[in-house]
């Protein structure tokens, strides 16, 4: 880079005060070699405040300045014109239309308001019109372009919030489904409690009918049996409905896979460079998802502060993802509790059946005792099928809690 080119690059910032001589020329040479705007080098590496840079540029170009603000209501007709090839040239030319006054004056943010080539490009795209040029830093121009011209995910700013809101809705819908599954499982457990009570009363009536004291007046025993059968018949349809629809509350792996799919937005909307610590790989997919979320739980303080709403939207999405993982855990453990309820009911039936056979011996009514044992064994097997898949998640839960909740 020639000395004359360095002088041209430094001229807009000549009004800045530095702690030692030659710092501005040093920064200009570094910016030219790296292909980075000088203003960015001065701000990030030499600690010059953005307001000081803008003040110097205002004095140099004798015009007002403007900063990026995601809340700025840029007229849609300006953005419509820029969609397509015209918009792709703005980053190189260093300008962006930001305001259109009631009298038709168009306010243009530009890195160099005195650039004749830039003015010619503006007139080529928008035609002859009254223009007002305001100086802006290169980063502000880049943020305007990224925000309002719908750049790809990961580079969006203001419009990114729409995508993030969409994914929050997706996660909220899935959590609602999970809550519905848990409600169904809770109904099944309630039905099992009624079934246990009904069969317990039936077993009591069986005992009373074999007692000589009640053999003469069996009506109390039959009354207990009737109540037991009523409870049993009332609760059995609810239990069978949940039992027949084991795939409606999805199986363990399905719950985890769908929860993982609702977190896929992280790949496009979050930046994980140098984030988080290396953690031991967990065995289960859900535990690995929990550890992954810990890397995204960072509060960012953007510059300028007007970008904070977008970063907070990202943070809300990460918190929603944490709630989704927690909801998946709750649903899986609800299935496990339902399985344990099956096992508990089955053990009760088997115990009562064995006890009745052992106490009264074999006879005509032994058929009832054998049926209790058979039904109990089937329920123990069924409960094991619901509970056993959760055993691996139990082993991984302590680490997952630290990743999901404390991250």
- pLDDT mean over 353-382: 79
- Residue 66 is predicted with a pLDDT of 93
**Same domain? 397 vs 286:** yes
pLDDT tens digits, residue range 225-247?
A: 677 777 777 777 776 776 666 54
**Same domain? 105 vs 207:** no
**Same domain? 178 vs 222:** yes
- Residue 62 is predicted with a pLDDT of 94
**Same domain? 138 vs 282:** no
Q: What confidence tier does 171 reach under pLDDT thresholds 50, 70, 90? A: confident
- pLDDT mean over 126-154: 80
The gap between the terminal CA atoms of the chain, to the nearest Å, is: 48
pLDDT tens digits, residue range 60-117?
A: 999 999 998 776 777 777 877 776 666 667 878 899 998 888 888 999 999 999 999 9
Counting the structural domains of the chain, the total is 3
- pLDDT mean over 169-183: 84
**Same domain? 115 vs 211:** no
d(CA 93, CA 115) in angstroms, rounded, equals 9
**Same domain? 327 vs 258:** yes
The domain spanning residue 92 has which CATH number?
A: 3.30.300.160
Least confident of 25-29, 79-83, 159-163: 159-163
Assign residue 173 a region: left if phi > 0, alpha if psi is -120 to 50, beta otherwise? alpha
More confident residue, 353 or 136: 136
Rounded CA Rg of the chain: 36
- pLDDT mean over 369-396: 77
**Same domain? 219 vs 361:** yes
What range defines the domain where residue 15 resides?
3-61
Domain membership of residue 347 (yes or no) is: yes
Q: For all residues of the chain together, what is the average pLDDT?
A: 76
Domain membership of residue 71 (yes or no) is: no
């Amino acid at each position: 880079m020639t000395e004359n080119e360095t002088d041209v690059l430094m001229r807009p910032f000549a009004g800045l005060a530095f702690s030692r001589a030659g710092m501005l020329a040093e920064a200009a040479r570094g910016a030219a070699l790296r292909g980075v705007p000088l203003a960015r080098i001065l701000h990030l590496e030499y600690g010059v405040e953005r307001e000081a840079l803008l003040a110097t540029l205002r004095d140099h170009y004798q015009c007002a300045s403007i900063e990026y603000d995601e809340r700025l209501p840029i007229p849609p007709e300006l953005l419509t014109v820029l969609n397509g090839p015209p918009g792709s040239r703005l980053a190189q030319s260093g300008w962006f239309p930001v305001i259109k006054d009631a009298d038709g004056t168009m306010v243009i943010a530009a890195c160099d308001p005195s650039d004749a080539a830039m003015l010619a490009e503006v007139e080529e795209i928008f035609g002859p019109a009254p223009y007002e040029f305001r100086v802006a830093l290169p980063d502000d121009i880049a943020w305007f372009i990224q925000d309002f011209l719908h750049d790809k995910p990961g580079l969006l700013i203001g419009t990114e919030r729409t995508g993030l809101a969409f994914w929050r809705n997706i996660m909220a819908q899935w959590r609602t489904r999970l809550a519905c599954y848990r409600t169904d499982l809770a109904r099944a457990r309630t039905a099992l409690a009624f079934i246990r009570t009904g069969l317990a009363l039936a077993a009591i009536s069986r005992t009373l009918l074999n007692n000589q004291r009640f053999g003469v007046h069996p009506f109390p025993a039959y009354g207990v049996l009737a109540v037991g059968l009523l409870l049993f018949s009332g609760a059995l349809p609810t239990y069978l409905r949940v039992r027949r629809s084991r795939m409606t509350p999805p199986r363990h792996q399905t719950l985890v896979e769908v929860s993982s799919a609702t977190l896929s937005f992280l790949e496009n909307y979050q930046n994980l460079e140098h984030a988080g610590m290396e953690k031991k790989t967990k065995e289960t997919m859900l535990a690995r998802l929990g550890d992954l979320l810990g890397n995204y739980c960072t509060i960012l303080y953007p510059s300028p502060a007007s970008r904070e709403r977008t970063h907070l939207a990202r943070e809300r999405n990460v918190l929603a993802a944490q709630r989704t993982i927690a909801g998946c855990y709750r649903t899986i453990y609800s299935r496990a509790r339902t399985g344990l309820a099956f096992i508990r009911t089955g053990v009760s039936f088997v115990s009562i059946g064995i006890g009745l056979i052992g106490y009264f011996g074999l006879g005509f009514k032994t058929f009832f005792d054998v049926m209790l044992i058979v039904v109990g064994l089937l329920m123990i097997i069924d409960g094991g099928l619901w509970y056993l898949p959760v055993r691996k998640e139990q082993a991984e839960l302590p680490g997952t809690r630290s990743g999901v909740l404390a991250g």
